[in-house]
Amino acid sequence: MEISAKMVKELRDQTGAGMMDCKKALVEADGDVEKAKDVLRKRGLSKANKKIGRIAENGVIIDYIHFNNRVGVMLELNCETDFVARTDEFKELGRNICKHIAMENPKYISREEIDSETLEKEKEIYKAQLADSGKPEKVVNKIIEGKLEKFYSENCLMEQKYFLDDSRTIDDMIKEAISKMGENISVRRFVRFELGH
């Protein structure tokens, strides 16, 4: 299929990827724009993974107050340079994460942040729930592992599915932003306030 300059420009406008990357993705996807987006996302995520180790010391503090004035969030979102920190795209990412935190109420940024005492307590609860199941220990341990994974996905910001698009996690959104902006981006901390809590 012939890949026109118009198709390349449209894909570039929608993804922010480079012209050559867009053209290659469209060729690989036989001109299908949606498939080309997936190709770019996969490539971008592998590039993003290389940038994750870099130090992100710049950034912004972003706040969000829910329309009912009963929930508020403050977030520190970091990147590598002041230049990226000032872009609308970076601030928009921060606002979207703030709204997500307001709606989904994560307790931690990532699973690495959870102390061993909390994890042990969760495991004890799961063991007690399965005590009378009569299942072999191997099976019980597998079930406990599955319940822990669910616990992480419900309580860790990076593993939660984005509240407006459950095909992506917050981690996916940040990796996409890293591949677009070319810098490491990380959530340093957040605090969520809810009236009466």
Q: Kindly report, residue by residue over 161-170, the tens digit of the pLDDT.
A: 999 999 999 9
Q: For 29-39, what is the mean pLDDT?
A: 84
The closest alpha carbon to 37, from 59, 57, 17, belongs to 17
Portion of the chain with pLDDT greater than 90, in percent: 55
Q: Write the pLDDT tens digit of every residue in 107-158.
A: 999 999 999 999 999 999 998 888 888 888 888 889 999 999 999 999 999 9
pLDDT value at 40 more than 80: no
Cα distances (Å, whole numbers) of residue 164 to 21, 28, 103, 170: 28, 29, 10, 11
At 66, is the pLDDT very low, low, confident or very high (cuts 50, 70, 90)? very high
Q: What is the model's pLDDT at position 167?
A: 94
Mean pLDDT of 99-109: 97
30 pLDDT band, cuts 50/70/90, is confident
Domain regions of the chain by residue span:
5-51, 58-109+156-194, 115-155
Task: Compute the C-alpha angle 71/77/155, nearest 5°.
Answer: 55
* Residue-averaged pLDDT of the chain: 88
Greatest extent of the chain over all pairs of C-alpha atoms, in Å: 65
**Which range (10-19, 62-71, 102-111, 148-157) has the least confidence?**
10-19
What is the fold of 58-109+156-194?
A: Tetrahydropterin Synthase; Chain A (3.30.479)
Q: Regarding the domain delimited by 5-51, which CATH topology (the fold level of the hierarchy) does it fall under? A: Helicase, Ruva Protein; domain 3 (1.10.8)
Q: What is the pTM of this model?
A: 0.71
Burial of 147 (0-12, 13-18, 19+ CB in 10 A): middle
In Å, how far from its chain's centre is CA 59? 17
- Residue 59 neighbours by CB distance under 10 Å: 22
